[in-house]
Chains A and B, each alone.
Chain A
Amino acid sequence: MFSFELLQEVAEHDWIQTIQSGTHGGEESLPPLLEFVRSVFDHVAPERLTGGLTLLASSNFPDALGDADHTLAQLAELADLPFLHPQHLVLVAREQGDYLVWNTQPDDAVLTAHTLVYRFDGSDHFMLPDLTVSLPEIPGFGSIFSIPTFMTLDEALLDYERTHVRHSGCPLLAANWDDDDRIVLANKPESSMRRSLEQYLRAALRGYGLIELRPEQNVDESHPIDIKVTWSVTNRIALIEIKWIGQSINPEKTATTNWKDPRANSGAKQLSDYLDSNKEYTPSHHVVGYLVVFDARRAGASAENRELSDEEALQYLAVEINYEPKYEELRPDFAPPVRLFMRPKTQVA
């Protein structure tokens, strides 16, 4: 059923509503500015913009700001942007298709009096004459407008490892450790891992139809699938089984559960069995099973010992899991297993 209360609540937190409401009829200017912001981040990663960034899309940028002394450059295309290293970049997208760049930060009041302004200073803001709208931060990404997207699940999983898992950039994963150095996992870390991957895929995987997360309470081993991704037009289904290896603390914090390769192997067998048993239910679909293993193995760690050398902590960085049998070689509907190594905090990180 439709709930107006929920819609009202959503509207209150919708920064687009806040901006559009504040521009009083300037509503058409927002999508072009957003597109401009996106294309800037396509060429320069937000992390590199340490001095901050101010963007305007303006058809008639006021002469008052076009002070020649401060004009850094006139850019024909944004691909040239990475070659500039100013403190604070001010970019104006002009109607004629080129860009003006300044390296001094102009008076915000002058800018906002003229047009809607985007500001990046580690997080995203839009500035109106009497209002600055700050956007919620998206963990794992510098800017809400720099989230990359991927056409295939394989590409997405590679990026997930890099941006979310490797240094526990995903806040769900960051909170999933029992210690600050990321040596021992928290108790029952699976559910956070599942939700982390699900959330990532929702935002980064292109063209899926449905992404379904197995409900928490459904822990029956005969239904091992954690995440099901359905593509509607191509009739493809990916069944993702998530396992973790390494150590996780018990609720009493007195000992750890220590999973090793056999745990991953049993996950592979469960997935293979499940694919067999479900073939008949989805005859018209092309189903592929994915085994995703979060790897938190640490040499010499225990409930008591968290003080590891870098060598110990990183010992498993490049140690692949030994699978027997190798299902991906036996059946075409089994993707090569994906190992996501979760690095500890180390000096050489």
Chain B
Amino acid sequence: MGPTSEAVFDALHMAKRVDELDGGAKESEVHVLAYLACILFIFDGGSVASWGYVFSTTSTGAPYAGDLHDALSNLAASGHLQRDVDVYRPTQPGLDTHERLRAGWRLGERPRYLDAAANTGLALATPVATGAVMHEPQLRTAAGLARKRMLLDEAGLALLDPHFEGLRRISDENNTPDLFSTAVLWLRYLQADADQKSTDV
């Protein structure tokens, strides 16, 4: 079985969106931003089971989806993406396919989350945004273990709950219900928290 349709679409969409914003998408950026999109989907009431593929950590504590990796490879091999080492850019056939898939019902809802995640780079610069995701609580606990582990399982989601609750409070108080500003705020928080911890040492 190849990568799921969701993973193929996300890989294509993320490569396209990050390319629009920054010129080319690093494979790791696709993994990290799709992971952020998945968390925003859960924050928005979605269930992790319906996301379409799963994330685990690499041995260095970064989010990684095997399906996304396969999707990028297949999309490159089939001429939908152009690959330069680990940087991907959509080709015209890739953009055409993306357009068609996006119009469908099954995949058409996903850009809402994928874009909210990728757009954080507009406010923070993409490296800052992806770097901040690495301080997400599950990844941070995983980084110390130096081995792969599943993300967004029940224990993982429990770690996110207080974050979600806090973010909802703020977005209620500030009247900022959009996913984009919530995502940016959360990344800023994760970075601030990490900075605080590193100066505490």
Which residues of A pack against B, CB within 8 Å?
2-4, 6-11, 14, 16-17, 20-21, 24, 27-28, 30-31, 34-35, 38, 147, 149, 151, 201-211, 213, 215, 230-234, 284
- Taking a contact as CB atoms under 8 Å apart, the answer to whether A38 and B122 are in contact is yes
Partner of B178, one of A28, A147, A203, A230: A28
- Taking a contact as CB atoms under 8 Å apart, the answer to whether A7 and B62 are in contact is no
| A-contact 0/1 string along B167-195, CB 8 Å cutoff | 10110001111101100110011001100
- Taking a contact as CB atoms under 8 Å apart, the answer to whether A210 and B178 are in contact is no
Q: Apart from A7-B189, A203-B125, what 20 extra A-B contacts exist at CB < 8 Å?
A: A2-B137, A2-B162, A2-B163, A3-B193, A6-B192, A10-B192, A16-B184, A16-B185, A31-B180, A35-B122, A201-B127, A208-B28, A209-B60, A209-B61, A209-B62, A210-B60, A210-B62, A213-B198, A232-B62, A233-B86
Q: In the assembly, what is the distance between CA of A202 and CA of B132, in Å?
A: 10
- A11 — which chain B residues lie within 8 A by C-beta? 170, 174, 185
- Taking a contact as CB atoms under 8 Å apart, the answer to whether B178 and A149 are in contact is no
Is B123 at the interface (CB under 8 A from chain A)? yes
- Among the interface residues A208, A209, A231, which one has the most CB atoms of the partner chain B within 10 A? A209
Once A7-B170, A11-B174, A231-B28 are accepted as A-B contacts, the answer to whether A208 and B122 lie under 8 Å apart by CB is no
Which residues of B pack against A, CB within 8 Å?
20-22, 24, 26-29, 31, 58-62, 64, 69, 86-87, 115, 119, 122-123, 125-128, 130-131, 134, 137, 143, 162-163, 166-167, 169-170, 174-178, 180-181, 184-185, 188-189, 192-193, 196, 198, 201
- Among the interface residues B29, B86, B125, B170, which one has the most CB atoms of the partner chain A within 10 A? B125
* Closest A residue, CB atoms, query B164: A2
Q: In the assembly, what is the distance between CA of A16 and CA of B61, in Å?
A: 29
Q: In the assembly, what is the distance between CA of A7 and CA of B162, in Å?
A: 11
- Taking a contact as CB atoms under 8 Å apart, the answer to whether B28 and A207 are in contact is yes
Once A17-B174, A27-B181, A207-B28 are accepted as A-B contacts, the answer to whether A149 and B126 lie under 8 Å apart by CB is yes
- A232 — which chain B residues lie within 8 A by C-beta? 28, 31, 58, 60-62, 64
* Closest B residue, CB atoms, query A26: B178
- A17 — which chain B residues lie within 8 A by C-beta? 170, 174, 176, 181, 185
Q: In the assembly, what is the distance between CA of A232 and CA of B167, in Å?
A: 28
Once A2-B162, A6-B189, A30-B180 are accepted as A-B contacts, the answer to whether A149 and B22 lie under 8 Å apart by CB is yes
Q: In the assembly, what is the distance between CA of A35 and CA of B115, in Å?
A: 12
- Taking a contact as CB atoms under 8 Å apart, the answer to whether A16 and B125 are in contact is no
- Taking a contact as CB atoms under 8 Å apart, the answer to whether A204 and B119 are in contact is no
Partner of B127, one of A2, A14, A205: A205
Q: In the assembly, what is the distance between CA of A344 and CA of B80, in Å?
A: 50
Q: In the assembly, what is the distance between CA of A317 and CA of B137, in Å?
A: 46
Min C-beta distance of B108 to chain A, whole Å:
17
* Closest B residue, CB atoms, query A15: B123
* Closest A residue, CB atoms, query B69: A233
- Taking a contact as CB atoms under 8 Å apart, the answer to whether A16 and B175 are in contact is no
- Taking a contact as CB atoms under 8 Å apart, the answer to whether B127 and A202 are in contact is yes
**A-B residue pairs in contact (CB < 8 Å), sample of 12:** A7-B166, A11-B170, A11-B174, A205-B127, A207-B27, A207-B127, A209-B62, A210-B143, A211-B131, A213-B198, A233-B86, A234-B27
Q: In the assembly, what is the distance between CA of A253 and CA of B131, in Å?
A: 40
- Taking a contact as CB atoms under 8 Å apart, the answer to whether A202 and B131 are in contact is yes
Once A6-B189, A209-B134 are accepted as A-B contacts, the answer to whether A21 and B178 lie under 8 Å apart by CB is no
Q: In the assembly, what is the distance between CA of A9 and CA of B162, in Å?
A: 16
Min C-beta distance of A10 to chain B, whole Å:
5
Q: In the assembly, what is the distance between CA of A73 and CA of B59, in Å?
A: 54
- Among the interface residues A201, A207, A208, which one has the most CB atoms of the partner chain B within 10 A? A207
- A230 — which chain B residues lie within 8 A by C-beta? 60
- A208 — which chain B residues lie within 8 A by C-beta? 28, 127, 130-131
* Closest B residue, CB atoms, query A37: B122
Min C-beta distance of B68 to chain A, whole Å:
10
Min C-beta distance of B42 to chain A, whole Å:
16
Partner of A31, one of B119, B127, B134, B193: B119
Q: In the assembly, what is the distance between CA of A208 and CA of B163, in Å?
A: 24
- A147 — which chain B residues lie within 8 A by C-beta? 125
* Closest B residue, CB atoms, query A36: B122
- A27 — which chain B residues lie within 8 A by C-beta? 176-178, 180-181
- Among the interface residues A2, A21, A202, which one has the most CB atoms of the partner chain B within 10 A? A2
Q: In the assembly, what is the distance between CA of A27 and CA of B183, in Å?
A: 13
- Taking a contact as CB atoms under 8 Å apart, the answer to whether A20 and B174 are in contact is yes
Once A4-B166, A8-B170 are accepted as A-B contacts, the answer to whether A203 and B128 lie under 8 Å apart by CB is yes
Min C-beta distance of B182 to chain A, whole Å:
9
- A30 — which chain B residues lie within 8 A by C-beta? 180-181
- Taking a contact as CB atoms under 8 Å apart, the answer to whether A149 and B64 are in contact is no
Partner of B174, one of A3, A21, A28: A21
- Taking a contact as CB atoms under 8 Å apart, the answer to whether B178 and A206 are in contact is no
- Taking a contact as CB atoms under 8 Å apart, the answer to whether A4 and B61 are in contact is no
- Taking a contact as CB atoms under 8 Å apart, the answer to whether B166 and A2 are in contact is yes
- Taking a contact as CB atoms under 8 Å apart, the answer to whether B127 and A7 are in contact is no
